[in-house]
Amino acid sequence: MTTPYLAFFASAQQKPEQIFLRAPACAGLPWAPAGFSISYGEAAQQIDALSKSYAQAGYGRGSRVALLLENRPEFILHWLALNSIGASIAPLNGDMRPEEMQHQLLTSGVETIIAAVNFRGLLESVPHEGISVAMLDQQIPAARTPRLPDGGHGDDEAALLFTSGSSGKPKACLLSNYYFMNVAEWYVSMGGVASMTPFAEVSLSPLPLFHMNALGCTAVGMMLIGGTIVPLDRFHPDRWWQTIAQSGATIVHSLGVIPAILLKRPEGVYDRSHKARFTFGPGVDVEHKRQFEDRFNLPIVEGWAMTETGGAAVTDTAALSAPAQPRCIGKPREIMDWRLVDTAGDPVPLGEAGELLVRAKGEDPRKGFFSGYLGDAAATEQAWAGGWFHTGDIVSADENGLLYFLDRKKSIIRRSGENISALEVEAALDADPGVAAAAVTPVPDPIREQEVFAFVVANPGQADAEALMRRLAMRLSYHKLPGFVLFCEALPLNSTQKLQRGQIKTDAEEAVRSGRALDLRALKSQLRKAMAE
C-alpha cells in the first residue's frame, strides 16, 4: 500500500462492517450532538461518491484543496476522496485570525476551499481572490486548473501542513503519501505497552487534524490496521473519561497539559472504568506522569518527532522494560540515524547536551522526511545543512542509547502542544500602533509547559495591557497571545543591535517569579471565549 486511501480501501475490503469513525453523544460535539458511527463500508461509499464529484469537477493529480472542516468526519472523507485521485489537501485552522489565514492561503496556492458553514463569516473577512469556496452542503466548484485523476503514487504530495519555524511566519511542509504511510507504520508497530491488534483498536484524539500527530498517527494508523478513529473537537476535562469509556477507546492521545489538568479534577466514576491501555502524551511533567499513572491506571508513552521528520526520525518509550527516567523521550527508531553536536557542529561526549541532528539510514538521508518547505528552497537546504536535518532541539544521550529532551534552540514556544514562533508574535506586536518595540520569549508554565511572555516598550500613553491584548486578538490566534506582559523602557540589545535572547529569557523568568510581570492568563481565557462566539 502506497497511500492513505489504499490503506483505508484494503481495510474496507477486508471488513466493511468494522466501525471507521465514531463518537459517543457524551463527547458533546457541536456538529454531532447525538454522536455518530460510520462503518468502513459506509465510508467507502461516501468517499467513492466524493471522489467522482472531484474528478468530474476537474481535480486530479497535482491539485491542492484547502479543508476548513475542524475534526468533523467529513474532513477525513474529503481527504481520502482527494487522495484517491492524486490530489493534496491544505488543512486550515479555524481559530486563525484573518491575517494568519490569508498567509496560509497565499503560501499554499490552493485553488479551492471546502469549509463548514460556521466559517462563512471568517472566510468573508479573508481576501481570497481567485480561490473558490464551497460549504459542505454545496456543489464542488470547478477546478481552476483541470487535471486528470491519478492516485496511488507514493512520492506524490498528500498534504501541506504548516509548522512554526524560527523565521516568523509558519512554513508549509510538503508531505508525501510515503511520509504518511511511514509514520503510520511506526505508530502501529511501537510494541511494548503500545502493541496494537488489527481490527481491534479504537484511537481517540482531541488533537486537530491539521497536525501530523492526529492526521498521520491516529487517522492513517487506524486505516492501516482497520481500527476505529474517535476524532474529538478539543479536550474537555469535564467529560474526558466518560468519552473515553463510552467510545470504547483502547488508545488515547493527549499532550503534557492534559494530565496536569485532569489531576486537579475531583474523582469520577469513569476515571478507571475504561478499556484504554495507554495514552500517547509527549511532554508530561515527571511528577504528573507518576501521579497520573497511579490514579487512572493508564501508562503514558513519551516520544519525540517533528512535522518535518515524521516517522523517519522519531523516538518513543513504549517498549522500555523499566519506567523511563525524567525527560526521557525513548529510543530512536531503527531506521533513524542521529548525532548530538555543539555550537561548532562537533560531536559532544556521551551524557552531554547537544543539538539533535537526524537523517534516515541508507542511501537517501531524506527518505520519509518532509519533501521540503513550499516556496522556500533556501530554508529547506539550511535545515539540511551538511546532510543532516537540524532539529533545533537540545538533547542528551545515555549509555543505553536512550535520548533525553532538555530544551529548544530555536525561537519556539511550546504551549499546550502548540509550537508558537516568538518572531511571529513579535511581528504582531511591532505592527501595533501602541508598541514601539517588543521581544517575546517562553517562560515555564506548570500546566501548559510554556507560556508566551512579551517585553513591550510602549509608545507614550499606550501602556494599557488589556487594550493591547484586545487588539492583538484581532491578529493572532488565542494560544499565541501573551500570557505575561512586562512594560519596559528598553529591550536588551547586543553591540549589533540584535536582541539578547538568552538575557531576555532569564529576565522573563525572574519577572514572573518576582511578580513584576502582568499576568494576563485569565484575560487570555476570556478573549478565547469571546473569539469563539
Read off the pLDDT of residues 386-438 as tens digits, 9 standing for 90 and up: 999 999 999 999 999 999 998 777 777 888 878 788 888 988 998 899 999 89
Q: Check whether 147 has a pLDDT greater than 80.
A: yes
User: Which grid coordinates belong to 469?
Assistant: 491584548
Closest-CA residue to 316 (of 190, 472, 415): 190
pLDDT of residue 422: 86
343 pLDDT band, cuts 50/70/90, is confident
User: Which grid coordinates belong to 109?
Assistant: 496556492
Q: Domain extents for the chain?
A: 4-301, 319-408, 415-532
Distance between CA 61 and CA 483 in Å, rounded? Answer: 44
495 pLDDT band, cuts 50/70/90, is very low
pLDDT of residue 244: 98
Sign of the C-alpha dihedral computed for residues 489, 495, 497 and 502 taken in this order: negative
**Residue 135: strand pairing partners:** 115
pLDDT of residue 164: 61
State mean pLDDT over 156-171.
Answer: 80
> Where do we find the cell 517588543?
438
- Strand 132-135 with 315-316, pairing: unpaired
Q: Check whether 532 has a pLDDT greater than 80.
A: no
Class at the top of the CATH hierarchy for domain 4-301: alpha beta
**Residue 91: strand pairing partners:** 67
Q: Check whether 167 has a pLDDT greater than 50.
A: no
> Where do we find the cell 474532513?
75
pLDDT of residue 533: 64
494 pLDDT band, cuts 50/70/90, is low
pLDDT of residue 497: 56
Note the CATH architecture for domain 319-408. Roll (2.30)
Q: Three-state DSSP class for 362?
A: coil
pLDDT digits (tens, 9 = 90+) for 263-285: 989 999 999 999 999 999 887 77
Neighbours of 125 (CB within 10 A): 11
Distance between CA 79 and CA 164 in Å, rounded? Answer: 23
Sign of the C-alpha dihedral computed for residues 166, 257, 175 and 310 taken in this order: positive
State mean pLDDT over 287-298.
Answer: 90
Detail the DSSP E strand segments found in 385-496.
389-397, 403-408, 412-415, 418-421, 435-445, 449-458, 484-487
pLDDT of residue 166: 46
State mean pLDDT over 108-119.
Answer: 96
pLDDT of residue 42: 98
Which segment of 130-134, 168-172, 199-203, 308-312 scores lowest on mean pLDDT?
168-172
What is the DSSP code string of 52-120? HHHHHTT--TT-EEEEE-TT-HHHHHHHHHHHHTT-EEEE--TT--HHHHHHHHHHHT-SEEEE-GGGH
257 pLDDT band, cuts 50/70/90, is confident
Q: Check whether 168 has a pLDDT greater than 70.
A: no
CATH code of 415-532, in short, is 3.30.300.30
Distance between CA 249 and CA 335 in Å, rounded? Answer: 30
pLDDT of residue 128: 87
pLDDT digits (tens, 9 = 90+) for 348-357: 999 998 999 9
State mean pLDDT over 294-314.
Answer: 95
pTM: 0.86
pLDDT of residue 486: 97
